[in-house]
Amino acid sequence: MESFKADKAAVNGDTAEQNSIEGTDSGVSPSDNRSPALTCSVRPKQLSPVYKVQFSNEELKARLTPTQYNVTQERGTEKAYSGTYYRNRENGIYCCIVCGEYIFTSKTKFYSGTGWPSFSDVVDTARVHLKPDGLGCGCGGSLVPLPSRDASAMRMEVKCHNCGAHMGHMFEDGPKPTGKRYCINSAALIFHRIVEKPEGQKETQV
């Protein structure tokens, strides 16, 4: 009983107040057999997603360019209008430069006037991880006219769901029918051209 009272006093003191504000570890975990009153003021830590594919920093630095590494691993942003795929109009698919995951297609790519490749959709929502990342239109803002466009809308960070590579941001100011604009760094992508064949023959990937 004395031990229980001591624990309760410690949690209700300065340490508990600091943990409640900063979310730091107090040593009390959900699995501890203690009274709920002792743990309710301690916010659990938010764990980062565990990605299927992981690479060491050494390997990535060896096979990625400095810009590709900065963008995908350090959440950097390439200079506007400088990306390889900004004006690319060829038919094909866009994959993650880090792990090769197929994420975008040329069929949803559009000219936004922002200086970065823009897509109105992903091939599968399960292939990206979206995370709130501040306010503002960012990435120059889309030139697509939308009556309900709000420049203060929340932007979402776009990460490859397979390896966690940072790719860019998603905004709710894109063209119909999705109304979304995926503003993606060319440095986060690798493009594979699709060669169209006559009717009856399969397309080939280059």
Task: Return the structure tokens found at 2.
Answer: 């004395």
Banded pLDDT at 133 (limits 50, 70, 90) = confident
Residue range 52-62: average pLDDT? 94
| 177-194: pLDDT as tens digits | 999 999 999 999 999 999
pLDDT reported for residue 130: 95
Task: Enumerate the β-bridge partners of residue 189.
Answer: 96
pLDDT of 174 > 50? The answer is yes
For the chain, which domains are there?
Answer: 2-39 (no CATH), 57-195 (2.170.150.20)
Check 95, 137, 139, 183 and give the catalytic one: 183
Average pLDDT over residues 63-75: 97
Tell whether the model's pLDDT for residue 113 goes beyond 50: yes
Q: Is 183 a catalytic residue?
A: yes
Q: Give pLDDT, residue 23.
A: 37
44 vs 79, residue with greater confidence:
79
Which residues, at least 6 apart from 196, have a Cβ–Cβ distance to it below 8 Å?
A: 91, 203
Is the per-residue pLDDT at 15 higher than 50?
no
Tell me the H-state helices in 75-192.
Answer: none
Interatomic CA distance for residues 61 and 154, integer angstroms: 32
pLDDT tens across 86-100, in order? 999 999 999 999 999
Calpha distance 28→35 (Å, rounded): 11
What pLDDT score does 50 carry?
77
Q: Is the pLDDT of residue 82 over 50?
A: yes
How confident is residue 35, by pLDDT bands cut at 50, 70 and 90?
Answer: very low
What value does the mean pLDDT of the chain take?
76
How high is the pLDDT of residue 135? Answer: 52
H-run or E-run covering 35: none
Per-residue tokens: 187: 């440095």
| C-alpha span between 13 and 121 (Å, rounded) | 50
Burial class of residue 74 (count of CB atoms within 10 Å of its CB; 0-12, 13-18, 19+)? exposed
